Chain A
């Protein structure tokens, strides 16, 4: 059985997006939701099909301005952390940037990329 992130049915993906949206907007859950999303991104960065699925999810999820900013912030943050340090994870950093473009997310810090 595939994991939730690999769900292929359109209806399932919409329900996943609904649940993610609810998780991010629920005060007690938003912190966990951010961590779990980072986990999904790390996994998807190693698998082209997973990356496609995730880009689709991010598009569905980024509707309001708040949501777009939140996801954009999350991806950039992860990309920066991954690109720095003594052992930078270049593939992950690049996947984050690809996802940003694929999901058409705003770039609040345009021009300040590492």
Chain B
């Protein structure tokens, strides 16, 4: 390679590419040189045109040049190759994206077709248009077609939006191709001397192919030799109907993921992987995605902060995730460069691109707020497992980020907006599930001991969500210890926690609360500085238990407290009368926030102020 000019075919089949999935292990096109024809041949076996492909094709045919705009991992490069192939270009030349547009065609000898993948830097619209016109002139003179892929909006009429084909269609195509190949490979193995070109057909003379590899496929194909075409369709149909496949297709996937999954399905057909493996692979893919976001070469710190924020504000307003993402960015940046505070680029962020990169989607929801029905734009990860996986991975794999994360979560916990606090509580529950021993002293215990009601409440809500989401057996134990703490605030938090979570552990809750009120009377030294506040908390919690838990169980316990007269009987009567005031036909509890309440029984939501006397 000299002087920026590529001569000859410098494509290297041995160049290692991304080796994460079986489908990408085979040699792919290199950055420059020619894309080999047989690579495109294989691509075309599985390629499906998608919605705007025909428009792009006619544009390219007429203008010799088209800009194909598509999101990251949307398969726009494969589309560029397929476009040229439909125009008869066997092996297009790959142009160096770092070379300026003026010199673009200087770098190579005339060829029937070129691809330019994601040129940098992005030029302004006028400059781009002028250069493209020049390019088009050259292409018209020398012959050749050029497809340029880009991620960003150009505003030029040359642009065609690339939309990937429906993923079920793409999966079917990949699966058929993979099954055919597997079938061919088996044919070649079992009959090495026999030339078996082309596809197996029903009338092909019988070769003995009843080996274990084919047992399953043969079931689908019937007694014929190997996978006849009809059998193949059947096998594909059965594989596509698997529950694992249905759940795989439930979530938007990149073409690369679809290809990898098709390979896996094919191996399942051959009996090499089980259905559990299929389900596990799906989870592993989420994990891999999350890991790559925070690995070297991932998105920049601001986008990483946004991802973490989106995990906390999943299914909440996009603006919340973005706003608090910038706050987190400031904190994380201060860890890296304490001398130079981070600036925030205020405008110019494309919501669509940002969410596409985060594998998330915008939705408009209507919800009833204090002032009536309102529409909001929410953002949520496509795969609901991303949220907890991301928070867990960041916490466990990147402890250097913890100081900033903790600072950030403390801020969220003290926020004026109850929705923000609710999401912070839910995120804390996820972190606690991942790593309780480190989350207790850093978040939950400081909140439980706080003089601020809001933070103590935050500890209670976080524990409640932990108990509900994970069936954590630790929660009643934690509350038990808090109820016995010498610290007034911690005891208060323990009592209130029992009220909120008691629906899950009513026996333990009543035992702890009863013991506590008895002890404060029997041993006044332990009563603390605010016995009234504690008594009130005990009444509120017991009242809540009576309203939200197995009623008979609580009534039985309260009735048993009536004799002998003492602190327990006073508590029983006070809590009973408070519960009697609960308004009819309405649940005496208040929602804490959209996410917190999703899927949680109403029993666990924090109480609306119960009318007391």
In this complex, the member of A5, A15, A26, A33 whose beta carbon has the largest number of chain B beta carbons within 10 angstroms is: A15
Give Cα A64 to B570, complex, Å.
22
Cα(A14)–Cα(B59), bound, Å: 83
A17-25, A78-86, A101-109 - interface stretch: A17-25
Of B555, B579, B613, most A-chain CB atoms within 10 Å: B555
Contact indicator A12/B552 (Cβ below 8 Å): yes
Knowing A4-B579, A32-B613, A36-B577, the reply to whether A22 touches B555 (Cβ < 8 A) is no
**Pick from B548, B552, B559, B570: contact of A18, CB under 8 Å:** B559
Q: Which B residues are in CB contact (< 8 Å) with A3?
A: 582, 584-585
Scoring B residues 146 to 185 as 1 if CB is less than 8 Å from chain A, else 0, what string do you get? 0000000000000000000000000000000000000000
Please encode chain B, from 459 to 500, with 1 for each CB lying within 8 Å of some chain A CB and 0 for all others: 000000000000000000000000000000000000000000
Please give, as numbers and ranges, the residues of chain A lying within 8 Å of B551 by CB-CB distance: 1, 4, 7, 12
- C-beta contact mask, A1-13 vs B, less than 8 Å → 1, else 0? 1011101010110
Tell me if A87 counts as interface (CB < 8 A to partner B): no
Closest Cβ–Cβ distance, residue A2 to chain B (whole Å):
9
Query: How distant is the Cα of A36 from the Cα of B581 in the complex, in angstroms?
Result: 7
- Contact flag A19-B581 (CB < 8 Å), given A11-B552, A12-B551: no
**CB of B305 within 8 A of chain A?**
no
Interface size counted on chain A using CB atoms at 8 A: 25
Contacts of B573 in A (CB 8 A): 19, 22-23, 26, 29
Q: Looking at the complex, which one of B548, B552, B572, B587 makes contact with A19 (CB distance below 8 Å)?
A: B572
- Whether B414 sits at the interface, judged by CB under 8 Å, is no
Contact A15 B613 (CB under 8 A): no
Bound: A4/B579 CA distance, A = 8
State the Cβ distance, A52 to closest chain B Cβ, in Å: 16
Give the secondary structure class of B's interface. Answer: helix
At the interface, yes or no: B21 with Cβ under 8 Å from chain A?
no
Shortest beta-carbon distance, A17 to chain B, in Å? Answer: 9
Q: How far is the CB of B558 from chain A (nearest CB, A)?
A: 6
Q: Nearest Cβ distance between residue B611 and chain A, in whole angstroms?
A: 10
CB of B556 closer than 8 Å to a CB of A: yes
Cβ-based interface call for A89 (8 A): no
A contact face: mostly helix, strand, loop, or mixed: helix
Is B559 a contact partner of A29 (Cβ separation < 8 A)?
no
Given A22-B572, A23-B573, A35-B613, do A15 and B580 touch, yes or no (CB 8 Å)? no
B546 partner residues in chain A, CB cutoff 8 A? 4
Known: A12-B551, A15-B559, A22-B569. A39 touches B582 (CB 8 A): no
* A74 interfacial by beta-carbon distance below 8 Å: no
Residues of B431-456 contacting chain A, CB below 8 A = none
Annotate A25-43 by CB proximity to B: 1 below 8 A, 0 otherwise: 0101100110110011001
Contacts of B576 in A (CB 8 A): 19, 23
What is the chain A residue whose CB lies nearest that of B576? A19
Is there contact, CB below 8 Å, between A4 and B582? Answer: yes
Name the CB-closest residue of B to A16: B555
Are B584 and A19 in contact, with the CB atoms below 8 A? no
A40 to B580, CA, bound (A): 8
B582, A33: Cβ atoms under 8 Å? no
**CB of B554, distance to nearest CB on chain A (Å):** 9
Nearest CB in chain A to that of B613: its residue: A32
Minimum CB–CB distance for A29 against chain B, Å: 5
Q: Tell me the bound Cα distance from A36 to B68 in angstroms.
A: 73
Cα(A35)–Cα(B612), bound, Å: 12
Is B574 in the interface zone, CB < 8 Å from A? yes
A50, B294: Cα distance in complex, Å: 61
Structural contact, A19 and B613, CB atoms closer than 8 A: no
Q: Whole-angstrom distance between the alpha carbons of A79 and B169 in the complex?
A: 75
Residue B104 lies at the interface, judged by CB distance under 8 Å to chain A? no
Closest chain B residue, CB of each to CB of A29: B573
Q: Is the CB of A29 within 8 A of B574?
A: yes
Contact B562 A19 (CB under 8 A): yes
Docked Cα-Cα span, A12 to B585, in Å, equals 19
A33 touches B577 (CB 8 A): yes
Cβ-closest chain A residue relative to B572: A19
* Contacting pair A36 B580 (CB below 8 A): yes
Residues of B close to A11: CB separation below 8 A: 552, 556
In the complex, how many angstroms separate the beta carbon of A58 from the nearest chain B beta carbon? 15
List A contacts of B562 (CB < 8 A). Answer: 18-19, 22
Known: A4-B546, A9-B552, A15-B558. A26 touches B570 (CB 8 A): yes
Cα distance A40–B576 in the bound complex, in angstroms: 13
A12 and B559 alpha carbons, distance in the complex (Å):
10
Interfacial chain A residues near B558, Cβ < 8 Å: 15, 19
Q: Which residues of A contact B572 (CB under 8 A)?
A: 19, 22
| Between-chain CB contacts (< 8 Å), 22 pairs | A1-B587, A3-B584, A4-B551, A4-B579, A4-B582, A5-B580, A5-B584, A7-B551, A14-B559, A15-B552, A15-B555, A15-B559, A18-B559, A19-B555, A19-B559, A19-B572, A22-B572, A28-B570, A29-B577, A33-B577, A36-B577, A39-B581
- List A residues at the B interface (Cβ < 8 Å): 1, 3-5, 7, 9, 11-12, 14-16, 18-19, 22-23, 26, 28-29, 32-33, 35-36, 39-40, 43
Known contacts A5-B580, A15-B555, A19-B555, then 11 further A-B pairs from the complex at CB < 8 Å, ordered by chain A residue: A5-B584, A15-B556, A15-B558, A15-B559, A16-B555, A28-B570, A29-B574, A29-B577, A32-B577, A35-B613, A40-B580
